[in-house]
Amino acid sequence: MQSTFDERNWLSWLVKVRILILTFLLGIQLTVTELTPTHLPMHLFLGTMVLWYTISVFHVILMSFWREHRLQASLQVLTDLVMVSLVVHETGGWDSSLNFLYPLVIIVAGILLPRAWALLVAALAFILYGTVLELNYYGVVHSYCTTHPQLKALQGIIFVNLFAFLAVAFLAGQLVSKLRQARVQLRNTSGALEDLQILHENIIQSVSSSLITTGLDGRITLVNSAAQKLLERPASQLLGQPVASLFLDALPNPEAQTHAEVRFDAGPSFRKTARVRVATLNVPDRGALGYVYAVDDLTEIRRLEREVRIQDRLAAVGRLAAAIAHEIRNPLTSIAGSVSMLSASAEMSEEHRHLLDIVTRESQRLNGIITDFLAYSRVKQYRFEKADLVRVLEDTLTLMRNRMTAESTGISIESRFSAREAWALADADRIKQVFWNIGENAVRAMPGGGTLRVNLERSGDDWQIGFADTGIGMTPQQSEKIFEPFQSTFEGGTGLGLAVVYQIMQAHEGKVWARSKPGQGTTLILKLRCLEAERIESSRQTLTPGPVPLAAEEKPAALAAAAAEGSRRG
């Protein structure tokens, strides 16, 4: 296949060179004819050149549909020999200065054809050239020669050209053989180098660590597949860009520090954390050519660390609440009763009554906080059943819409569900409490009105529910502590609503996280396992017994009941 490709290229080159030589010869002969007297038959010569041009065009057309390149090469060489003989005859025979065209044809034959064919073409060239001279000498054809050499001189010219033709054929064959060997070696070396380069590229692209290389100017020159996946951008958008523009924090300097923890935005609303290590890209004998950055995704690790801190704080708050809630409520009840009796006295002044009202309201507020304390710290009992999340969401949103209309808050609620039913193994009442608490937070974040968008869609083995408001948003510091108790930024809030949300989601083995920017609203995302995925996981656990999670002790029995119900319906 490669040989055919080379022969085609050589044939194309031969056509181009032939046309170039013909044009050059025509121009030289016309110039000589104009400047000096000559016996050249101009009409015959021009007719021969036009015929040669026509043959060249025919070879071009033939090459487009005839794939036998070896036969085409032989045909072109033979036609060139005949045309050269005609031109030599017309330009003076033994007086012609164009007999150098024979060696050119022999060289072309050595390139396109095997070595034996080159020698055969040299012999044929000798026969044609000798025939032309003999026919001119003996007057068989009309001669355009200006001189008439002796017979021995003619024979000398013929045999000298024979020696020259054979020498050219031999040398051309040797040279072409060497060139072909060199081409084969070069092709093998190029193939080995290309294989090595492909191997290195495959290694870099297959490495699980994210790698980015830059020049000394800091612009990206290479990004492997892992880095493209981490940054969520294709290589076409990254190559040539300054590497510092991808990250929100300063990158490490290889001369001062070798690693640093930085943040970057992946997509329009999701921020990740990564550890970046940098090293100088040194090449022997060339010095430093750039830098290599290794990027490790720490987002999940940092999220788990935050969850552990939140759980520790929640556990501490729970223990504190259980220890002091009852001790505070008892004297608080006494205080509230005493204040009520004092407020009923007729001798109280208006100012004193106002002060007692303040004490009453604050006592009620403190009682509400203690109630939330007890609700949060009390061990919750979950009843896991087959629940339709779409129906639970619609019930919750209907109540919220009615409330928004009654209070004229200027808040609209939009919902978009990608499925008519979203079955999960869950405690419907607790999940409704999760949806209500998140909706309450969203309403408080939009004091001047706005839009709350709620969507539900399938994400792998999970149902993903999103609550997106157009409120005031949060800073990154507030987002990290949003699920910790007493972190409320709203007036009168206890900061336990989202802590309860986190607690319930943990019991359901679900996930909850927030995305927010100041002034751009907040999005809370929930993930709950689909019922089908729960059944598959339960089957695996049945085949391979293992520890049952404490937060879902009732789930296996509930799952069995749900499966039985599904089989009865089927």
Considering only CA atoms, which of 361, 278, 369 is closest in space to residue 324?
Answer: 369
User: Apex CA 303: angle with CA 518 and CA 528, to 5°?
Assistant: 95
Which of 304, 325, 355 has the alpha carbon at shortest distance from 494?
A: 325
Q: Residue 92 belongs to what H/E stretch?
A: none
The distance in angstroms from the start CA to the end CA of the chain is 62
> Do residues 62 and 74 make contact, with C-beta atoms less than 8 angstroms apart?
no
Q: Are strands 411-417 and 450-459 parallel, antiparallel or unpaired?
A: parallel
- The strand pair at 423-426 and 385-388 is best described as antiparallel
pLDDT at 4: 39
- 499: Cβ contacts below 8 Å, ≥ 6 apart: 314, 317, 376, 483, 484, 485
Taking the C-alpha atoms of residue 504 and residue 551, their distance in angstroms, rounded to an integer, is 9
> What pLDDT is recorded for position 495?
67
530: DSSP letter: B
Closest CA to 454 of 432, 443, 439: 439
pLDDT, the chain, mean = 78
Structure tokens at 32: 């000589």
Q: What is the pLDDT of residue 568?
A: 40
Please give the torsion angle defined by the CA atoms of residues 532, 537, 540 and 544, in that order, rounded to the nearest 10 degrees.
Answer: -160
Element (H, E) at 348: none
Neighbours of 184 (CB within 10 A): 11
pLDDT of residue 397: 92
H or E stretch including 287? strand 287-297
**Angle of the 69-90 helix axis to the 2-35 helix axis, nearest 10:** 10
Q: What is the DSSP secondary-structure string of 235-278? A: HHHHTTSBGGGG-SSPPPPTTT-SEEEEEEE-SSS-EEEEEEEE
Question: Which pLDDT tens digit goes with each residue over 412-469?
Answer: 999 999 989 999 999 998 899 899 999 988 998 898 889 999 999 998 889 999 999 9
Six-digit token string for 256: 């001062």
Q: What is the Cα–Cα distance from 119 to 468, expressed in whole angstroms?
A: 86
Q: What is the pLDDT of residues 371-399, one digit of tens each?
A: 766 666 665 678 889 999 999 999 999 98
Q: Please give the pLDDT value at position 452.
A: 93
Token pair for residue 151?
Answer: 């017979």
Per-residue model confidence (pLDDT) at position 492: 54
DSSP element (H, E) containing 104: helix 101-112
Q: What is the pLDDT of residue 528?
A: 92
Distances (CA, A) of 512 to 463, 507, 508: 12, 12, 11
Contact criterion met (CB below 8 Å) for 107 and 60: no
Nearest to 434 by CA among 531, 512, 515: 512
Looking only at the bridges linking them, the beta strands covering 411-417 and 385-388 are: unpaired
Compute mean pLDDT per 10 residues along the chain, 570 residues long, and list them.
53 73 74 69 78 78 73 80 82 75 79 77 83 80 75 77 78 77 79 78 80 88 86 85 86 78 74 85 81 86 79 70 67 75 70 76 75 64 88 92 87 91 91 91 88 91 92 83 72 70 88 87 91 65 44 44 42
Q: Using alpha carbons, select from 549, 487, 482 the residue that is nearest to residue 513.
A: 482
Give the DSSP letter of residue 550.
G
pLDDT at 378: 61
Give the chain's domains with CATH numbers.
Answer: 2-186 (no CATH), 208-297 (3.30.450.20), 302-377 (1.10.287), 385-569 (3.30.565.10)
Q: Could you tell me which residues come within 8 angstroms of residue 4 by beta carbon, excluding any fewer than 6 positions away? A: 67, 69
CB atoms within 10 A of CB 386: 18
Our CA angle for 191, 195, 197, nearest 5°, is 115
**Interior angle at CA 294, CA 288 and CA 296, nearest 5:** 170
Calpha distance 512→502 (Å, rounded): 7
464 three-class SS:
strand
Write out the two tokens for 131.
């025939």
178 near 195, Cβ under 8 Å?
A: no
